Structure 1
Amino acid sequence: MTLRRTWFGAGRGRSALTVLTAFTALAGATVVGAAPAGAAQGTAVAPGVVYRQFDIRGARGVTHAHVLSVDLRRGVRLGLLRPRAVAGRARISALADARGAVAGVNGDFFNITETQHPGVPATGAAVGPTIVSGRALKAAVPDGQRFGPGLPPGTDTTEVIGVGADWRARLDRLRLVGSVRTPAGTLALGGLNQYALPVGAIGAFTSDWGGVSRVRATCGTDTERAASCSADTYEVTLRHGRVVALAGRPGSGAVAPGTTVLVGREAGAQQLRRFFRGEAVSVRYGLVASGSRIPYRFALGGYPVLRGGVPLAGLNDTTSAVRTAVGIAGGGRRVFLLALDGAPAYRSGLTIAEVAGALRSLGAVDGFSLDGGGSSTLVARAPGATRVSVRNHPSGGAERAVANGIGVFTVG
């Protein structure tokens, strides 16, 4: 794909647009560069959406930041960008154009490779929980099965950033609650459309999953992603509430609408072996928030770096990288979408501690880290354009297909 580059405001590099002249120390990082006359306010992408770019001097050198400031009080909304299938990937620019978004950034970390399990395909599925249009799409994998850097102390794979029915952005945790009911009793549901199931669990795969093999869900353990695949597995296919097929191992191929595939490993497999063709089985599930009683319109995973204006304790302050992050201010009515530039001159990036400081200096009270490295992508429409353009240089040299992202949409 050819990246479309229409730069807003000032040119790139150390003479690029420097914003928020009140910026001071960014947890060891400092904004540098001179703001061109008249450019301090950035460039409007849409009402309530402003694009800015500026340099930051971090512990490893100067990096370049791209920021979208989004005012949710100005007729603009945030929503999930995603491929058709949970087990699928697509470029943020393509997802944004398909949905009519005016801007966006990449989202959650995802199952990008499977070198430890020969013959098992990577699914492309995200690590954390996902809600789309108020509907539970997938649940979180066990902590030991996540892809990405280490989590800050006290956090886990259920962490999300999302927007509620009140159109306010917030951080939260989303835990799967579900059951498999049969005439003989009720079993706990331990997974939903996720690439890794807890040891001994039963997971449900719906038509949202896609056609990728479900074998990966039975590989690794709750603490070791590279552990071997389970030899004790079973699969049951339900159609319109009845068992229609049984299999000794997870299969592949698209799951049809009205169909649910149950995959069990170890104790979960033993429970599924008791099922029989024609048996009535119902599956119920939902994602329950720990911090909010307000239903979510959308949510996706990552991990928090800033809460109540204070960086989380134990944030990594030694490893620098290209990163994507989100800041929340104004009681959830203002959002900052930040992506660092992956061009060779800026590829040193920032540490997570520096990212938390940068978000706080933008005015954020809460902050959340998304996938980084070659995934970091920020897109936005140029004035008068009907399609988005990639604003940063992806560090891999081309835009990477990712599991999901956050889109910015105008209303009306």
Structure 2
Amino acid sequence: MGRRVRRVRAVLTVLVAWLSLVGGGTAWAGVEEISALRLEAPTAIGPGVTYRGFSLNGSHGPAYGHLLTVDLSNQRVSVDLLYPGVVGGRERVSRLADQRSAVGAVNGDFFNIVEAQHPGVEATGAPVGPAVAGGRSLKAAVPDGQRFGPAMPPGVSTQDVFGVGTNRVGRMDRLELEGSVRTDEEEWSLSGFNQYALPVDGIGAFTPAWGRTSRLRATCGTDTDRGAPCSDDTFEVTVRRGRVASVADKPGRGAIADGSVVLVGREEGARELRKLEVGNRVTVEQRLRPGGSGAFRFAIGGFPILRGGRPLVGLDLATAAVRTAAGLADRGRRLYLLALDGGRDYRSGLTIAELARTMRKVGAVDAFNLDGGGSSTLVTRGRGSARATVRNHPSGGAERPVANGIGVFIRR
């Protein structure tokens, strides 16, 4: 009886997966069908990594895309975050790939690109969501209302990440900041870590990984309104080797020395930090806690669009654009990196709902939307080549410097 039950379950599992693949069931209700999807023959980039182009017809016109498929079970293959060495900075994807000798890469998270609503405030270039590189936590997520990018589906948060664990298995998860600021007398919760926007009444920590960019933007806007005025109640404390080294009424800029951390407070957070004096002992601790099991080798922000072969409820059905996405199959052992082409004939792109369907069509079971438009870029680098080749046509006519990306590496 046990064997028979297992056989029936196996048949049902295959049937459900097939129905999902061909668009059966109610999960795709209202999502435009992708017609005439044509996958070109794959080209080997190296062991476990292939590239191919594809074409399809979306609701707004023809689209062309570029796809990297990565076998994470291949021990010679690895994936990591690409970024310009600091959180508050931007660089072209091809340059980021060249610096790390990546064989393939796509652009990553949405980022703080403009500050038209806050005259005189510098745009930081920092990404929206959490970031982990080489197993090291770089930053936490800004409040949902402070994000840049298209509307997220219901139930999704800026804490959502796509990444690969230290076990070499890819997954979608959430990374929540846990941290504290402790003195001899008091302890306060840390509500920010290398973020371009802090929660109202919060205290944020900035480490050397932040870079030289101004920290003023962190005190602008509110948890629900990115364009709200900057706070006029702020305070900054520099802690060096466990003691307060200096204080200031407003957030500053410039490199943060090794062994130092800068605390920025707004509203109630500022009032708490004003209790500190030069020479006071202060301990600052922060970590990114995953919702699932296991630590990340790399993680990047964005938002999920496909989970378990089904599109998330509430995906945008109307707005088409050039887009970038990452996907997983084979229980996290197979990675897909996709970027649409921004050439003149294909610039209309796809809606997010169509992107979810496309990711399912190419084989993904889980998929994650990344920054699109002029940021969408996919590059590859052939054996013996010193420079990466940009495979798609960026919609802005040239590569846009971005906050981060996903890099694929092959150990020779």
Equivalent pair of 1:24/1:30 in contact (CA under 8 Å): no
In structure 1, the residue matched to 2:182 is 181
Counterpart amino acid of residue 44 in structure 2: A
Shift of 1:369: 0.3
1:260-288: per-residue Cα shift (whole Å, max 9, x none)?
00000000000000001100001001000
Shift of 1:362: 1.2
Shift of 1:73: 1.7
Q: 1:64 to 1:29 in 2, by over 3 A?
A: farther
Shift of 1:293: 1.8
Shift of 1:49: 0.7
In structure 2, the residue matched to 1:9 is none
Give runs of aligned pairs for residues 151-166 of structure 1, distance below 5 A.
151-166=152-167
TM-score, normalised relative to structure 1:
0.91
Identity of paired residues, percent? 58
Structure-1 separation of matches of 2:200 and 2:238: 20
Structure-2 separation of matches of 1:241 and 1:43: 53
Shift of 1:203: 0.2
Structure-1 separation of matches of 2:381 and 2:110: 25
Structure-2 separation of matches of 1:33 and 1:101: 29
Structure-1 separation of matches of 2:43 and 2:264: 50
Structure-2 separation of matches of 1:320 and 1:269: 42
Structure-2 separation of matches of 1:279 and 1:383: 55
Equivalent pair of 1:102/1:387 in contact (CA under 8 Å): no
In structure 2, the residue matched to 1:103 is 104
In structure 1, the residue matched to 2:252 is 251
In structure 1, the residue matched to 2:32 is 28
State the secondary structure of the residue aligned to 1:95. helix
In structure 2, the residue matched to 1:395 is 395
State the secondary structure of the residue aligned to 2:319. coil
* Structure 2, unpaired ranges of 5+: 1-20
Structure-1 separation of matches of 2:239 and 2:37: 61
State the secondary structure of the residue aligned to 1:216. helix
Counterpart amino acid of residue 293 in structure 1: S
In structure 1, the residue matched to 2:132 is 131
Which deviates more, 103-112 or 41-50?
41-50
Q: Aligned Cα RMSD in Å? A: 1.5
Which deviates more, 121-130 or 133-142?
133-142
Aligned residues: 386
In structure 2, the residue matched to 1:368 is 368
Structure-1 separation of matches of 2:137 and 2:43: 36
Shift of 1:199: 0.1
Shift of 1:115: 0.2
Structure-2 separation of matches of 1:134 and 1:367: 22
The answer to whether the aligner puts 1:48 opposite 2:48 as a matched pair is yes
In structure 2, the residue matched to 1:325 is 325
Structure-2 separation of matches of 1:168 and 1:181: 36
Shift of 1:32: 3.4
State the secondary structure of the residue aligned to 1:238. strand
In structure 1, the residue matched to 2:351 is 351
State the secondary structure of the residue aligned to 1:246. strand
Give runs of aligned pairs for residues 10-409 of structure 1, distance below 5 A.
27-32=31-36, 40-74=40-74, 75-290=76-291, 292-382=292-382, 384-409=384-409
Shift of 1:185: 1.3
Shift of 1:86: 0.4
Shift of 1:386: 3.3
1:62-100: per-residue Cα shift (whole Å, max 9, x none)?
010100011112221111100111000000100111001
State the secondary structure of the residue aligned to 1:331. coil
Counterpart amino acid of residue 304 in structure 2: P
State the secondary structure of the residue aligned to 1:243. strand
Counterpart amino acid of residue 346 in structure 1: Y
Equivalent pair of 2:34/2:354 in contact (CA under 8 Å): no
Counterpart amino acid of residue 157 in structure 1: T
Counterpart amino acid of residue 351 in structure 2: T
Shift of 1:134: 1.3
Equivalent pair of 1:32/1:54 in contact (CA under 8 Å): no
State the secondary structure of the residue aligned to 2:51. strand
Structure-1 separation of matches of 2:145 and 2:32: 31
Structure-2 separation of matches of 1:165 and 1:382: 27
State the secondary structure of the residue aligned to 1:360. helix
Q: 1:141 to 1:33 in 2, by over 3 A?
A: closer
* Structure 1, unpaired ranges of 5+: 1-22
Counterpart amino acid of residue 325 in structure 1: A
